[in-house]
Amino acid sequence: MQPTRTLPEEYDVIVVGAGINGVGIARDAALRGLRVLLLDQEDICSGVSAWSGRLVHGGLRYLEQYDVRLVHESLAERERLFRQAPHLVKPVPLMIPLYRHNRRPGWLVELGMITYDVLSWRKTPPRHRVLSRTQAKRRFTGIAVDGLQGAAVFFDGQVELAERLCVELAVDAHRHGAIVRTHARVDAPVVEHGRVVGVRWRDQLTGEAGQARAPITFNVAGPWIDRVFASADIPEQPRLNGGTKGSHLIVGPFPGAPRDVVYYESQRDGRLVLVIPWMGRYMIGTTDIRFDGEPDEARCDIGEAEYLLTEVNSLIPEAGLSLDDVLYTFSGVRPLPYVPDKAESSVARSHSLHDHAADGLAGLITVIGGKLTTYRQLAEDAVDDALRRLGRVPQPCPTRDRPLPGGTLLDLGALRTRLLNEGAPLKTADRLLSFYGSRAGDVWQLTHELGELAKPLDERTGLVAAEVVFSVEAELARTLTDVMARRTLLAFEPDHGLAVVDDIAAVLARRLDWDEARTETELAGYRSWLDHLAVPDPTGPRSDSFGAGLTAGGR
């Protein structure tokens, strides 16, 4: 269980932000022997890392920006994730339909495919294929045929459970000495003689306040980087975040739906739109809109929803999707560098480290940009930089070959047989292996210690009470929302787990000694959090980038 005691004050590195990049830095630093404090105002993976398309990709479209270095780096890191987290990150086929009306001609797509293969010549998945019109129709039976010339098929990676990836990184960091404190908001930096020497923080749940000191503070707050250290008591800092909002729609299976991830050009404006099979449903996205508001307030608006539905209905005529078919939506703000004179889609997706010494705040380093796929390389770069600043002897980076905690067994078949022999229902055994990998046995072990924890709480998913307990005892969860949204992921089921949320809250209440008032507060907090997944109001505001009107009917 996550500690709530008063923290030590002295560290080598403080990391602010527990998204994929923050937990990656904390893990790398702890593995290299540094004293690390990781703070987040909410939970692990509670920001933009959870609101992505969940693809672990080489960045094919970055070739259009001639960013070959980023593509090469992304492909190398994708391969590492296939090896280090095989239970979470898996190869998936992507199809690019080739239409006569596409702005990118077929020969250019083919050239991109060849370059992609060359840059990833040691890759695990197969090389690309080009399909004829007939072959494309056979593979994707629902595809619109007017102007169809063929398709290209290539492989990338998918992490359906991005939250689980972040949690495992945080668990590994914690195992190796990092202090991980979630729901701890950084109120201000501690500044002495023009240098940041630490931070003041406040626990959002208990009210406890404290101060932590370190010679280096990494600001890894994603789209919040300009807000964390904004204060009248320190010199004004340059704007670094130029984030854009990306929204996704989640729908159930529908007529004509593809088996592959489909990656295609919007007919309206040439944007790249995806239809992604995800958790037995489909994710449709994404948009790319300048967003200057509070990142936690980003929501899919009706203009975005209509745009995405129109595009899918154009690609798959028999789909007939309407707003009534949308189960839920989500939106996140990409942590991109501030480049006001560039179009959103042209802003570089690579990462950089901004040293605030030139801005009057030495000791503060802000991480700008970064992608889910390349978090490990970003972390390596950041910790290499920290070791130089600390005057430490350079050390080899241990994360290059180190599996995640759930990735230590490459063949999970024997573990699956063991779980079934020990009485785990089939659905539960398969769920535990896909969520926890090598650690599935640790979860099931709890059912031996306390028999009632083997009770299925949710028959549809196979969730057992042991998972709920494991969340707070081994995975740093502190609230009901942490458990529902970022450990068990019941929040992303069609009913958001509301049919069983009272039972889950009761398990937590018994384990954590919550009284009735605290339990009700937790339930109310989770229901409030579900606003992140709201389906937009047709009469609500719409982004300027999208006009009104749904051009294809619903069903």
Residue numbers of the domain that contains 479: 409-514
Note whether 111 and 248 are same-domain residues: yes
Q: What is the pLDDT of residue 551?
A: 36
Among 319, 338, 357, which residue terminates a domain? 338
Residue 287 sits in the same domain as residue 311: yes
**Within-domain flag for 124:** yes
**Domain presence at residue 450:** yes
CATH number at residue 108: 3.30.9.10
- C-alpha distances out from residue 162 to 41, 169, 233, 549, Å: 19, 11, 37, 33
Q: Which amino acid is at 443?
A: V
pLDDT of amino acid 121 = 66
246 and 233 within one domain: no
pLDDT at 346: 54
- pTM of the prediction? 0.94
CA dihedral sign of residues 118, 124, 127, 129: negative
CB 164 within 8 A of CB 488: no
Check residue 349 and give its pLDDT. Answer: 59
The pLDDT assigned to 555 comes to 32
- Structurally, how many domains does the chain consist of? 3
Residues 393 and 466 in one domain: no
Same domain, 370 and 481: no
- Look at residue 255 and tell me if it is in a domain: yes
Does residue 333 share a domain with residue 284? yes
Evaluate whether residue 381 is within a structural domain: yes
Q: Are residues 155 and 290 in the same domain?
A: yes
One digit per residue, the tens of pLDDT, for the chain of length 555 reads 444 445 678 999 999 999 999 999 999 999 999 999 999 999 999 999 999 999 998 777 776 766 788 888 889 999 999 999 999 999 999 999 999 988 888 878 888 888 878 777 676 778 889 999 999 999 999 999 999 999 999 999 999 999 999 999 999 999 999 999 999 999 999 999 999 999 999 999 999 999 999 999 999 999 999 998 887 678 889 999 888 999 999 999 999 999 999 999 998 888 889 999 999 999 999 999 999 899 999 999 999 999 999 999 999 999 999 999 999 999 999 988 887 766 655 555 578 899 999 999 999 999 999 889 999 999 999 999 999 999 999 889 999 999 999 999 878 999 999 999 999 999 999 999 999 999 999 999 999 887 778 878 999 999 999 999 999 999 999 999 999 999 999 999 999 999 999 999 999 999 999 999 999 999 999 999 999 999 999 988 887 555 444 433 333
* Residues 122 and 247 placed together within one structural domain of the fold: yes
Please report the DSSP string for 382-446 in residue order: HHHHHHHHHTPPP---GGGTPPPGGGS-S--HHHHHHHHHTT--HHHHHHHHHHHGGGHHHHHHH
Residue 200 lies in a domain: yes
Q: DSSP strand E in 204-271: where? A: 209-213, 216-219, 244-251, 261-265
| 447 and 391 part of one domain | no
